[in-house]
């Protein structure tokens, strides 16, 4: 077909797919940077990334493309609420309108400032010197405020930023569901601490040769359905999952000889993200129906496989003998029950990324509440460390001895990721609600997991979640699928069912 005979819809899709192709080149460079690139290559890589980022932004706000989209959005294709084409047009139009509101100057200034802020953050964290980072953090929040105003989030600035990660989610609704969660979690954590029961965590730190851990990692990833023929498992400093193309979704994790849990739950988590990506429609690659609905929904899939499957006793009934066969010296004398208790150790700690599944959401609450206050100007950057420590005391009963182990622990704010944190907690809520619905439709899953039969669950998720792409918002998808809006109920129910017997509450 010649260009001239292409329909308007085809032209718009070609433009959007080519933008996605460029984005995937950015992702190839990003994967290389995090797995293979020598540190000396960083400067040249930053130049490559900046050039690509500029090209991608230009394509996204291209006026011809915008005009074609506007024409399509008025036409009959877009009005069809059920067709793929209608959903595609509506989503592309929404993306365009949002990006087009951002002045190029602001996009560039944010890029420059966050690069500087990230290196200031790295140094401040290493030297436990919050004051040296504070001016850049202030600059980042100033720019994010400007961004929120440009996007016009209505009465609430945070709405505009949250929408980047969780489209159509409102701050008010997010806050309501998270504070209901907090009201249940704080006393649950207190009861667990007061129980005096503690698993023997030392069984996970006995010494596990890295090459055996790598073999186990591949086995576990494949066991839950991550397809290594369309992916890879590599080693990195910070675990991640990235998609480079319709048949190329890669995961990477880290290994520590004296911490088996890091690799085991790292791989289950990242493979969970990978299973979502590998379950997307390849015929829609580069278009909204071939993309994940939101960060919260993405995280729900990593958490579902990591926690609801991967920390269940049923799963380990099947998988633990395989772990033992990899590490006969370390684990021959460790029972299934002791292993299961050790991987479900709950205790308040200071570091989010090392938190267990019960206390984890309280770490998120602290960040969610503080970043809203910083954005609104209710809290100054100078007062933020004290506010951080107070919230840790209130929610977790512990106080960081230093800012390095407190407010300086996460990269997000320095990278301009404001509004990102709550999607982690939302992922846990979505996961529990989706898993409960799967059990309602498929029947209890414990017996299947104990037999290593995970295919029915994966197929159900593929049909009901993955292949829906971005047809509607994640919140709507979960509501339609489970019959109710997202709430804390299913997660609290799961946590009680598991932890009350473990800690004899
Ligand atoms: Zn994740």
Q: pLDDT band at 275, cuts 50/70/90?
A: very high
CA 303 to ligand 1 center in whole angstroms: 7
Task: Identify whether 270 is a catalytic site residue.
Answer: yes
> Which pLDDT score is estimated for 107?
86
- Please give the order of strands across the beta sheet that includes 231-235: 231-235, 248-253, 240-245
As given in the structure block, the two tokens for residue 341 are 């208790």
Give me ligand 1 centre to Cα 504, in Å: 30
- H/E element holding 243? strand 240-245
The reported pLDDT for the residue numbered 154 is: 64
Give percent of the chain above pLDDT 90: 89
Q: Which of 147, 166, 270, 357 is catalytic?
A: 270
The Cα 357–Cα 1 span in angstroms is 53
251: confidence class by pLDDT, cuts 50, 70, 90: very high
Give the model confidence (pLDDT) of 16-45 as tens digits: 999 999 999 999 998 998 889 998 888 888
pLDDT in tens, 286-344: 999 999 999 999 999 999 999 999 999 999 999 999 999 999 999 999 999 999 999 99
Rounded Cα distance, 286 and 469, in Å: 11
Cβ contacts of 151 within 8 Å, gap of 6 or more: 98, 101, 102, 160, 161, 163
Q: What separation in Å is there between the alpha carbon of 298 and the centre of ligand 1? A: 7
Q: Mind listing the pLDDT tens digit for each residue in 121-177? A: 989 999 999 999 999 999 999 999 999 999 986 679 999 999 999 999 999 999 999
352 C-alpha vs ligand 1 centroid, how far in Å? Answer: 13
User: Does the global pTM surpass 0.75?
Assistant: yes
Q: How far is the CA of 269 from the centre of ligand 1 (A)?
A: 6
In whole numbers, what is the pLDDT of the chain averaged over residues? 95
Confidence of residue 3 (pLDDT cuts 50, 70, 90): low
What DSSP letter does each residue of 363-388 carry, written as one string?
A: HHHHHHHHHHHHHHTSS-TTTHHHHH
| C-beta of residue 502 within 8 angstroms of C-beta of residue 339 | no
Q: What confidence tens digit (pLDDT) does each residue in 86-134 have?
A: 999 999 999 999 999 998 889 888 888 888 898 899 899 999 999 999 9
């Amino acid at each position: 077909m010649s260009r001239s005979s292409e329909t308007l819809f085809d032209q718009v899709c070609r433009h959007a797919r080519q933008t996605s192709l460029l984005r995937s080149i950015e992702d190839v460079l990003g994967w290389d940077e995090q797995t293979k690139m020598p540190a000396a290559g960083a400067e040249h890589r930053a130049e490559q990334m900046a050039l690509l980022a500029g090209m991608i932004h230009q394509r996204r706000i291209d006026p011809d493309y915008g005009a074609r989209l506007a024409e399509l959005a008025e036409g009959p294709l877009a009005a069809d609420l059920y067709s793929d084409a209608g959903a595609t047009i509506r989503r592309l139009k929404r993306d365009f309108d949002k990006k087009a509101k951002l002045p190029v100057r602001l996009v560039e200034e944010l890029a420059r400032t966050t690069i500087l802020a990230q290196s200031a953050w790295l140094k401040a964290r290493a030297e436990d010197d919050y004051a040296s980072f504070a001016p850049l953090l202030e600059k980042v929040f100033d720019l994010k405020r400007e961004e929120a105003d440009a996007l016009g989030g209505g009465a609430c600035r945070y709405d505009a930023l949250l929408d980047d990660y969780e489209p159509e989610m409102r701050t008010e609704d997010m806050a309501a569901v998270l504070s209901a969660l907090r009201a249940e979690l704080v006393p649950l954590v207190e009861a667990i601490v007061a129980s005096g029961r503690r698993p023997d965590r030392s069984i996970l730190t006995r010494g596990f040769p890295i090459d055996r851990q790598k073999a186990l990692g591949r086995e576990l990833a494949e066991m839950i359905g991550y397809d290594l023929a369309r992916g890879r498992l590599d080693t990195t400093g910070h675990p991640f999952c990235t998609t480079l193309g319709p048949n190329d979704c890669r995961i990477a994790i880290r290994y520590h000889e004296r911490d088996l849990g890091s690799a085991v739950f790292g791989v289950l988590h990242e493979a969970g993200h990978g299973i979502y990506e590998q379950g997307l429609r390849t015929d829609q690659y580069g278009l909204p129906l071939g993309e994940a609905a939101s960060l919260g929904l993405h995280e729900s899939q990593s958490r579902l496989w990591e926690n609801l499957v991967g920390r269940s006793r049923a799963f380990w009934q099947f998988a633990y003998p395989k772990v033992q066969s990899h590490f006969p010296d370390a684990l021959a004398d460790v029972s299934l029950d002791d292993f299961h208790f050790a991987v479900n150790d709950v205790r308040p700690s200071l570091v989010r990324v090392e938190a267990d599944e019960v206390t984890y959401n309280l770490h998120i609450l602290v960040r969610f509440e503080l970043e809203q206050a910083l954005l609104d100007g209710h809290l100054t950057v100078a007062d933020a460390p004290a506010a951080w420590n107070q919230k840790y005391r209130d929610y977790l009963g512990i106080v960081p001895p230093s800012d390095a182990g407190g407010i300086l622990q996460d990269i997000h704010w320095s990278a301009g990721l404001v509004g990102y944190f709550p999607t982690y907690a939302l992922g846990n809520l979505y996961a529990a609600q989706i898993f409960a619905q799967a059990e309602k439709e498929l029947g209890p899953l414990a017996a299947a997991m104990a037999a290593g039969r995970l295919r029915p669950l994966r197929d159900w998720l593929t049909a009901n979640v993955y292949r829906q792409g971005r047809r509607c918002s994640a919140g709507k998808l979960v509501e339609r699928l489970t019959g109710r809006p997202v709430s804390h109920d299913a997660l609290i129910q799961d946590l009680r069912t598991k932890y009350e017997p473990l800690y004899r509450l």
